[in-house]
Structure 1
Amino acid sequence: MPFRIIARSILALMRDSRSIGILLLSCTVLSLLLANLADGSAYADFWRSELSWIHTAYLPHSIEHWINDGLMVIFFFLAGMEIRQELREGELSSVSKAILPVAAAIGGMLIPAFIYTLFNKGTSFAGGWAIPASTDIAFSLGIASLLGKRVPVSLKIFLTALAIIDDLGAIVVIALFYGEPVQVFYLLGAALVIALLYMLNRQRLKFGIWHILLGLLLWFAVFNSGIHATVAGVIFAWMIPASKLDSFKHRLHYPVNFLIVPLFALANTAIMLPENAIGALNSSLSWGIILGLVIGKPVGIMLASWLVVKNKKAVLPQQVSWMQLAGAGFLAGIGFTMSIFIAVLAFADPAIQDQAKVAVLVASVTAIILAMVWLRWFGKR
């Protein structure tokens, strides 16, 4: 009986959308504390320790790499299925439904990237322009849930659609700008695997072991092709039968949000802060990221939304005011998972990666505070 009660309590907690944001915050704080203890270097080195014998098999060669290039493929597989389902039957299934969140997402990516570029044009940090252009969908919706009725359901739906388009934009950016020199042999291998998966679907073959084996082969080919491995997860999401989308999304929701993403947070926020951490933030890299997420996101979303509404191409979601939409803009400034992920891809130097990660954390916490204060004040008005 006690075991059943505990199991039911844990399941109820996991079903609460607020728990995802709380878990990610907890993992981040824990990882930062462990990394900055007296012997914190051992904790940071644990995630980054090299496994050279695995590297010879053309596979990820550290725990951190296995999380970022392996487990995160499942995260992007889930994101790909969400994008696909929204385009089929959700808020993005028609032009009239999609135009407002699509415009808002584009504005919310372009303005932060522009702000970042203003600070870093011509510097060695210029390649990180996409870091502040991303939104953490799980985190932002988790914080929205903490605010209860101050965030109308229609605003949450808008934020979800916006974040999904944002994810799609991030996936395209990763594929086009953050890969390595293309290896034609592996790229052709990936194309062959995609063709085989397409043929299996055309034959209406029941999803099974062959799909899984081809999916693993697709990941291996993409990982070695020069295109980032996570793109394989999105491609595979479009190769599975449409009838399986709901089932797979349901099965992967808990493992992704309560295991893979927390592991990503633990591994990628194992940052040893410098003695003058505040001073380290006073750089063009940090200011570009912080202002891009905290200011650029809401400004871009509001400006793009205002333009399409003013030109009568779209209308505001039902029972949502402009002030509440601005609050959604602050929520979209919570970059966290996606922004940290792009920071790792953008810079090869671990010290610069850490500086960018700290800036993302500062920006995300600031965005959380601003969103909660703003929506608590304007949420009922």
Structure 2
Amino acid sequence: MSLERHWANRLATKISKMLGGEAAGGILLIAVAIAAILAANSPLQHAYHDLFHDKLPWTPVYKLDTLHLWINDGLMAIFFFVVGLEIKREILDGELSDARRRRLPVLAAAAGMLAPAVVYLAVAGTAQPMQRGWAIPAATDIAFAVGVLALLGKRVPASLRLFLLTVAIVDDLGAVTIIAIFYTAEIKLAWGVGGLLFLIALIAANRYRLHSYLLFGVLGLGLWFCVLNSGIHATIAGVLAAFCVPLSVSKGGDSMLLRLEHALVPWNSYLIVPVFGFANAGVALGGIGMEGLLDPIPLGVMLGLFLGKQVGILAAIVASDRIGFAPKPEGASWSQLWGMSVLCGIGFTMSLFIGALAFPRYPILVEEAKLGVLVGSLLSSLLGYAILRLSTTPAPGEKAMESPAEPGDPKLP
């Protein structure tokens, strides 16, 4: 059965169209963040906190005994599974599959992670525990950034949108690597070996073309459970499982990876990420206050996202173009590339997630990091939109910008 005819893909497509496409995803995240902040600073603040942090009366997984843990370690594993699918597709059959085309996005993404970390450490310092937050401003929220870009419609050249997507994909790969290396607790050997066995089984299933959704689902769930108990963050299991999903297209035009990605992306954008955002973006300002934004952690996170991202990415593009390493995206002006670089400072989902991992024993520091993420992301979205709005004017009669084919679209090879 072809991708476009499968019921899960048809349902996913209908959901995406019903909710208004890419722009709707960014608008939804803004609404969710506002709702979370209002809930955390209203008479509902205790109900909001208790909803996510009170012990559940029963849980099938003893380590996940609150709704907040189920969201951050359970639902977000699915989020990272979809991220892993996107990364694998891009590396094997997308913009990152060509060495010449991936030079600039990889360089820009690397600079866009290094510069914010340097800015953060310069402001917050290298003493513990503040030093552990260096990676918070290093991540870009794809859905949010692309959503803001989509609001500009045909004003933005297709090459700029594609470049932003590619940089964000590489950025996600970097964020996953950082989580695995720098935010992993002491590994429990027995559970780690169990996870390795499940991973080997997934690789074997791919190798021997056992393309059964049930088999991959059971093995993936086993991998997640072992990783959850091993000390490695459970979301890493989502990425590892995704890398084992076959991409090869059958004679009937079917591909397990493309079908899963196409079916899960709308659920990721319109359910999982908003639920995560609502559960994690609620900053209780009563204990911090907006004046707290000048404290080292929130100020470092905010400046890392707002200044570090744009400086790092734009400097990498300029330097690469000037020395002939890789030319800037065709059809994009320098002012448009600046606006795109600023939009990469929208951290939100990934930054909130890393913030919770950075300070597990210091709830007040997690709240401060949230404040920096929200303000930095807000400033980046407003300035990035303004720059692109002022630097682009649609030509009379110009056709709307055509979006690249979605996963599972028949236009894909």
* TM-score grouping bracket, smaller chain normalisation: over 0.9
Three-state SS of the structure 2 residue aligned to 1:281 is helix
CA contact (8 A) 1:13 1:19 kept: no
- 1:119-138 to structure 2, matched below 5 A, reads 119-123=123-127, 124-138=129-143
- 1:281 equivalent to 2:293? Answer yes
Which of residues 234, 247, 250 is equivalent to 2:262? 250
Q: Which moved more, 1:103-112 or 1:302-311?
A: 302-311
Instruction: Answer whether contact 1:274 1:280 (CA < 8 A) is retained.
Output: no
Flag structure 2 segments of 5+ consecutive residues without an equivalent. 1-12, 248-254, 395-413
Q: Distance in 2 between matches of 1:270 and 1:100?
A: 36
Alignment-derived partner of residue 364 in structure 1: 377
Q: How does 1:1-381 map to 2 (within 5 A)?
A: 12-51=17-56, 54=59, 57-123=61-127, 124-242=129-247, 243-274=255-286, 277-348=289-360, 349-380=362-393
Alpha-carbon offset, residue 379 of structure 1 = 2.4
Deviation at 1:86, TM superposition (A): 0.6
Native 8 Å contact 1:41 1:272 kept in 2: no
Report the Cα distance in structure 1 between the residues aligned to 2:374 and 2:86, rounded to whole angstroms. 26
CA distance in 1, matches of 2:307, 2:91: 29
Contact persistence 1:134–1:339 (CA under 8 A): yes
Residues 48 and 64, structure 1, Cα contact 8 Å, conserved in 2 = yes
Distance 2:135 2:144 in 1: 19
Structure 1, gaps ≥5 residues long:
1-7
* Greater displacement, 227-236 / 46-55: 46-55
CA distance in 2, matches of 1:217, 1:295: 42
Conserved 8 A contact 2:130-2:297 = yes
One-letter code aligned to 2:326? A
CA distance in 1, matches of 2:311, 2:380: 13
**TM-score if structure 1 supplies the norm length?**
0.94
* SS of corresponding position for 1:204: coil
Q: Secondary structure at the match of 2:286?
A: coil
Distance 1:291 1:231 in 2: 28
Q: How many residues align?
A: 373
Deviations 1:238-259 (A, max 9, x none): 1111131110111101111111
The Cα of 1:131 is off from its aligned counterpart by 0.3
Instruction: Note the alpha carbon deviations across 1:329-353, whole angstroms, 9 max, x for none.
Output: 1110000000000000000222111
Contact 2:41 2:286 in 1 (8 A): no
Residue 355 of structure 1 deviates from its aligned partner by: 1.1
Contact kept? 2:211, 2:256, Cα under 8 Å:
no
Which residue does the alignment assign to 2:4?
A: none
**One-letter amino acid of the structure 2 residue matched with residue 49 of structure 1:** D
Q: C-alpha separation between the residues in 1 aligned to 2:213 and 2:309? A: 42
Question: Following the alignment from structure 2 to structure 1, what is the Cα–Cα distance between the partners of residues 155 and 300?
Answer: 31
Letter in 1 for 2:264: L
Q: Which residue identity lines up with residue 296 of structure 2 in the other structure? A: S
- Secondary structure of the 1:308 match is helix
CA distance in 2, matches of 1:280, 1:274: 10
Deviation at 1:54, TM superposition (A): 3.6
SS at structure 2 position matched to 1:185: helix
- Compute the displacement of 1:373 (Å): 1.1
Query: d(CA) in 2 for partners of 1:239 and 1:276?
Result: 44
Deviation at 1:120, TM superposition (A): 2.0
Q: Root-mean-square deviation (CA), in Å?
A: 1.7
- Work out whether residues 80 and 233 of structure 1, in 8 Å CA contact, stay in contact via their aligned partners in 2: yes
Decide whether aligned partners of structure 1 residues 282 and 148 sit closer, same or farther in structure 2, where only a CA change above 3 A counts.
Answer: same
Q: Is the Cα–Cα contact under 8 Å of residues 16 and 266 in structure 2 kept in the other structure? A: no
Give the letter aligned to residue 229 of structure 2.
Answer: N
Amino acid at match of 1:213: V
Q: Return the TM-score normalized by structure 2.
A: 0.87
SS at match of 1:274: helix
Change (3 A) 1:316 1:117: same
Q: Once the 2 structures are TM-superposed, how far is the Cα of residue 276 of structure 1 from its aligned partner?
A: 5.9
The code of the aligned residue for 1:378 comes to: S
2:6: which partner in 1?
Answer: none
CA contact (8 A) 1:44 1:271 kept: no
Moved more, 121-130 or 259-268: 121-130
Deviation at 1:10, TM superposition (A): 6.7
| Deviation string, structure 1 residues 277-308 (Cα, Å, up to 9, x no partner) | 12111111111111110011010001111222
After the TM superposition, which of the residue ranges 94-103 and 271-280 deviates more from structure 2? 271-280
